[in-house]
């Protein structure tokens, strides 16, 4: 068929590729695991040796990042290091602004940038949002980098896709996360501190303003990205002085605490890009992509959702904590779950097994439904066959030979398989 969806097994991560007649849109590419257990293959070797060659013949390649967590983004940097021009377009999420005009994700990341060692993985992950556009522009060129936020529309494969989330303005940050940034601001705003503290706050304000400015154009403004990088470098020059402030140790401990780390991680998930096609006639393009969006985000976009989709991507690796009753009310022929063998996001919600849609999972190891009774897809009706029938009637699902009638494949280092787990 002309439209295909590839769900890649990247262990603790996500990479989904929409292929429309040779034009591809890769949605996320990352993993928190060095090794993919299926085949015992290094993740970056898989990206370079399998993933990139697989789509090398596509006439146009685009990439969309839902959010800045490592398990969604690290593969992108590996691709761009190997071939800076591999993608024709890079769609990257803006950092939203909350009440009072505060870009809290940026502000929090800047505190991590100055108070925590940049040699740590935690610091690198949490400051990724600061360097996202700079790294993309330096690798691929500003003309290929496009910011996305709610309301944006982009073409792909002869269809139009609309971004439903995140809103760039008035983003509903969790009060607990806002309070964490306020606590750091209170420490930094004392009038008895040396001039470096005030200079940092001024540079922070200028950086956030410049960030919003270069994101106002599409593609991004190359000079604007460079100007923001210069401001970040100036803040970096203040680090030795800032780490001598009397509260620097407390600030570092606060930023490193598990509770605060969790708040920031949840805020990034809440800002995940959610998008769908603009429906014309019914087609395999009827797909809802959700990143790691929590139930609150799904509830916020619910008025823009449709009653049914050809394909629904389960948010946050299908975890129970991220399952939304809104998703459970949708009719979906197929459900994509990047579950990961380690189940780092928690067990797959049994609610997906209970939905009528055929599930396509990268691993069954974290699925309670499989552990208790076998693959849920076997007894579901597939509407992509020549006539509606149980999924067991699909020759590809049972043998892995030929092409799946639905166009949905699970790709692993060991080969291609269909919707049956086992």
DSSP letter at 313 equals E
Interacting residues of 14 by C-beta distance below 8 A, sequence separation 6+? 27, 28, 29, 30, 71, 72, 317, 338
Please measure the distance between the N-terminal and C-terminal CA atoms of the chain and give it in whole angstroms.
26
Q: Is 14 helix (H, G, I), strand (E, B) or coil?
A: strand
Output the DSSP codes for 280-295.
SSS-TT-EEE-TT--H
**Across-strand partners of 26?**
17, 63
Cβ-based neighbour number of residue 391 at 10 Å: 23
Helix 222-237 to helix 195-214 angle (10° resolution) is 160
pTM for this one?
A: 0.95
Sheet holding 274-277, edge to edge: 153-156, 159-165, 274-277, 287-289, 308-313, 331-337, 358-361
The beta strand positions in 21-135, using DSSP E, are 23-31, 35-36, 41-42, 60-64, 89-93
- Strand ranges in 224-330 using DSSP code E only, listed in sequence order: 274-277, 287-289, 308-313
CA 51 to chain centre: 18
Coil/strand/helix, residue 221: coil
Distances in Å between the Cα of 62 and the Cα atoms of 89, 105, 135, 167, 354 are: 5, 26, 17, 22, 34
The pLDDT of residue 280 is 64
Name the pairing type of β-strands 159-165 and 23-31: unpaired
Per-residue confidence of the chain (422 residues) as pLDDT tens digits?
Answer: 478 999 999 999 999 999 998 899 999 999 999 999 888 999 999 999 999 999 999 999 999 999 999 999 999 999 999 999 999 999 999 999 998 899 999 999 999 999 997 756 777 777 889 999 999 999 999 999 999 999 999 999 888 999 999 999 999 999 999 999 999 999 999 999 999 999 999 999 999 999 999 999 999 999 999 999 999 999 999 999 999 999 999 999 999 999 999 999 999 999 999 999 987 656 677 999 999 999 999 999 999 999 889 999 999 999 999 999 999 999 999 999 998 755 555 788 999 989 999 999 998 877 777 766 678 888 899 888 888 888 888 888 777 677 899 999 999 999 898 888 76
| Contact (Cβ atoms closer than 8 angstroms) between residue 13 and residue 416 | no
- So where are the chain's domains? 3-94+149-171+271-417
Amino acid 395: pLDDT? 83
Question: What DSSP line would sit under 172-209, residue for residue?
Answer: ---HHHHHHHHHHHHHHT-TTS-HHHHHHHHHHHHHHH
User: What is residue 366's predicted lDDT score, i.e. its pLDDT?
Assistant: 74
Supply the CATH classification number for the domain 3-94+149-171+271-417: 3.60.15
Q: Is the CB of residue 145 less than 8 Å from the CB of residue 215? A: no
Contact 144, 90 (CB under 8 A): yes
CA nearest to 36, candidates 417, 367, 363: 363
The per-residue pLDDT for 342 is 53
- Model pLDDT, residue 345: 58
The pLDDT assigned to 1 comes to 47
């Amino acid at each position: 068929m002309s439209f295909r969806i590839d769900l890649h097994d990247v262990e603790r991560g996500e990479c989904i590729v929409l292929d429309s007649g040779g034009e591809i849109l890769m949605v996320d590419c990352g993993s928190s695991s060095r090794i993919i257990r299926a085949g015992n293959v290094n993740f970056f070797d898989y990206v370079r040796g399998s993933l990139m060659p697989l789509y090398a013949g596509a006439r146009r390649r685009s990439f969309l990042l839902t959010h800045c967590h490592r398990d969604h983004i690290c593969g992108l940097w590996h691709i761009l290091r190997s071939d800076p021009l591999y993608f024709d377009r890079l769609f990257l999420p803006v950092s939203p602004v909350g009440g009072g005009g505060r870009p809290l994700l940026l502000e929090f990341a800047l505190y991590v940038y100055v108070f925590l060692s940049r040699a740590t993985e935690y610091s690198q992950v949490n400051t990724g949002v600061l360097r996202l556009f700079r790294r993309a522009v330096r690798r691929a060129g500003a003309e290929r980098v496009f910011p996305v936020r709610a309301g944006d529309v982009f073409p792909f494969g002869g269809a139009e896709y609309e971004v439903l989330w995140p809103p760039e303005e008035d983003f509903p940050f969790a009060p607990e996360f806002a309070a964490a940034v306020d606590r750091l601001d209170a420490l930094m705003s004392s009038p008895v501190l040396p001039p470096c503290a005030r200079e940092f706050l001024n540079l922070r304000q200028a950086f956030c303003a410049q960030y919003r400015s270069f994101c106002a154009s599409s593609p991004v403004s190359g000079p604007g990205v460079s100007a923001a990088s210069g401001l970040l470098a100036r803040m970096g020059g203040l680090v030795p002085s800032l780490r001598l402030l009397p509260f620097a140790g407390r600030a570092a401990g606060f930023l490193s605490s598990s509770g605060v780390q969790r708040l920031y991680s949840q805020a990034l998930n809440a800002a995940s890009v959610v998008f769908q096609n603009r429906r014309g006639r019914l087609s395999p393009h009827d797909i809802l992509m959700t990143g790691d969006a929590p139930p609150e985000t799904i509830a916020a976009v619910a008025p823009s959702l449709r009653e049914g989709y050809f394909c629904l991507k389960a948010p946050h690796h299908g975890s129970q904590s991220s399952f939304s009753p809104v998703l459970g009310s949708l009719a979906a022929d197929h459900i994509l779950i990047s579950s990961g063998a380690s189940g780092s996001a928690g067990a797959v919600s049994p609610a997906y097994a209970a939905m009528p849609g055929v599930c396509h999972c990268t691993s069954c190891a974290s699925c309670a439904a499989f552990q208790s009774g076998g693959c849920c897809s076997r007894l579901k009706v597939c509407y992509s066959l020549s006539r509606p029938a149980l999924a067991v009637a699909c020759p590809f699902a049972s043998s892995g030979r030929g092409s799946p009638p639905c166009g949905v494949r699970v790709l692993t280092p060991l080969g291609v398989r269909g919707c049956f787990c086992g």
